[in-house]
Amino acid sequence: MEWVNAIVQGVLLGGLYALFAAGLSLIFGVMRLVNIAHGDLIVLAAYLGLTTTIALGVHPLTSLMIAVPAMAAIGYVLQRGVLNRTLGDDILPPLLVTFGLSVIIQNGLLEIYTADSQKMNAGAIETASLEVTGGISLGVLPLIMFATAVAVIAGLQLVFYRTALGRAFRATSDNQDIAQLMGLNKAHVFGLAMALSLAVVGIAGVFLGIRTSFDPAIGPGRLIFGFEAVIIGGLGNLWGTLAGGIILGVSQNIGAQIHPGWQTLAGHLAFLFVLAVRPRGLFPRIEG
C-alpha cells in the first residue's frame, strides 16, 4: 500500500512539474527560444507571492492575483526589451542572454531576500486531506495544484488551437516572414507568448512556494525538472508535457520509497531511459 501511495503522490507532484514545463514548452514552440532563466523566474514568482502575502496579509493562494499578472507583464517587457533582440538564425545569443538573466535574478534575489529558506504558510489547507479507501489519503493542496495544472494545460491547448492568438502563435512559429505579411507584428506576438509563459510561471512559482521551502539558488534545479518533463512528453505537445511531469513525479517518489536519497536520481534515470529509448519523447507532435 505504501507503493500505491508513493505513486499517487507522485502523480500529484507531476502536476507541479507540468506547470514548471508548460511555459518552457510554449515559448520553445512559438519562437525556438530556450529560456535558461525559466527556473529562476519560477523562484522570482515564489518571492513575489511571498512578498504579496506578507505585505498585504493575504492567503498565499490569493497572492496569485498579483503574482500572475505581474509575471505576465514582466514577460512582455522582457521579450520586447531584451529577448527579441537576441532572436535570429543563431541559437546561441538567446541561450547566453537568458543564462546571464538567470545569474542576475539569482543574485538580485540573494541581495534582497538573503539566502535564508522561505516558505509560504497556507494555513489549515496544507494539512487537510481526503481519506480514500485503504489507507491512501490525498492532500487537498496537492489535489488543488494538480487540478490547476490540468486546467492550465487544457486552457493553453484551447488558446493554441481555438483562438486568434493561438493562430498567430502557430503561424509565426511556422513562418515569421509570411506571418508579418498577415499583419502580425512578430515582436508583439513573441511578447504575448512570453507573457503567457510567465503567467504560467507565476502559478508554478506560488505553488512551489506553498509546497516546499525555497531560496534564491533553487531555480536551475526547477529548470531541469521542467526540461525533463518537456523532453519525456515530447516537444510541442502540451498534454505530453503533463504526462512527462507525471512520469517524472512518480519516478522520483518511487526512488524516494526505495531510499530517501534516491528521489532526484530516480527522476533523472527515468528521463535518461526515455531519452535513450524514445529520443523524441513519448508523444512527439506528428509532423507533416
Partner 1 sequence: MPDALLETRALNAFYGDFQALFDVSVTVAPGEVLAIIGANGAGKTTLMRSVAGLLTNAADMVAFKGRPIGSMRADQVAQLGIAMVPEGRQLFPSLSVEENLVIGGQVGRSGPWTLRAVYALFPVLEERRDMPPTTLSGGQQQMVAIGRALMANPEMLLFDEISLGLAPIVIKSIYDALPEIIREGTSAIIVEQDITKAIAVSDRVYCLQEGRIALESASADASRDAIARAYFGT
Is residue 14 within 8 Å of residue 245, measured between CB atoms? Answer: yes
- Give the nearest distance from C-beta 125 to partner 1 in angstroms: 41
- Give the nearest distance from C-beta 188 to partner 1 in angstroms: 9
Strands, E, within 94-227: which ranges? 129-132, 136-139
Residue selected from 92, 115, 181, 276 as contacting partner 1 according to rule CB under 8 A? 181
Residue 220 region by backbone torsions, left for phi larger than 0, else alpha for psi between -120 and 50, else beta: alpha
Residue selected from 119, 167, 268, 280 as contacting partner 1 according to rule CB under 8 A? 167
- Give the nearest distance from C-beta 191 to partner 1 in angstroms: 14
Residue type, 227: F
80 CB-contact burial (10 Å; exposed 0-12 / middle 13-18 / buried 19+):
middle
Least Cα distance to 61 among 124, 13, 113, 11 occurs for 124
Residue 178 within binding range of partner 1, rule CB under 8 A: yes
- Give the nearest distance from C-beta 39 to partner 1 in angstroms: 28
Residue 157 within binding range of partner 1, rule CB under 8 A: no
Residue 115 within binding range of partner 1, rule CB under 8 A: no
Which residues are CB-contacts of 138 (< 8 A; sequence separation ≥ 6)?
8, 12, 129, 130, 132
- Give the nearest distance from C-beta 171 to partner 1 in angstroms: 5
Locus of grid cell 503574482: 67
What nine digits make up the cell of 119? 516558505
Angle at CA of residue 162, ends 82 and 195, nearest 5° = 20
- Give the nearest distance from C-beta 281 to partner 1 in angstroms: 18
Candidate ranges 104-112, 163-171, 190-198, 219-227; the one touching partner 1 (CB under 8 A)? 163-171
Nearer to partner 1, 180 or 264 (CB): 180
Least Cα distance to 86 among 99, 95, 76 occurs for 95
Candidate ranges 4-12, 15-23, 127-135, 166-174; the one touching partner 1 (CB under 8 A)? 166-174
Report d(CA 228, CA 270) in Å as an integer. Answer: 9
Over the window 182 to 211, marking each residue x when it contacts partner 1 by CB under 8 A and - when it does not, the resulting string is xxxxx-------------------------
Q: Which residues pair with 130 in a beta bridge?
A: 138
The secondary structure of residue 287, as a DSSP letter, is P
Q: Please tell me the count of residues contacting partner 1 according to CB under 8 A.
A: 19
Residue selected from 174, 261, 277, 279 as contacting partner 1 according to rule CB under 8 A? 174
Candidate ranges 59-67, 96-104, 112-120, 162-170; the one touching partner 1 (CB under 8 A)? 162-170
- Give the nearest distance from C-beta 186 to partner 1 in angstroms: 8
Binding positions for partner 1, rule: CB under 8 A: 164, 167-168, 170-171, 173-175, 177-186, 288
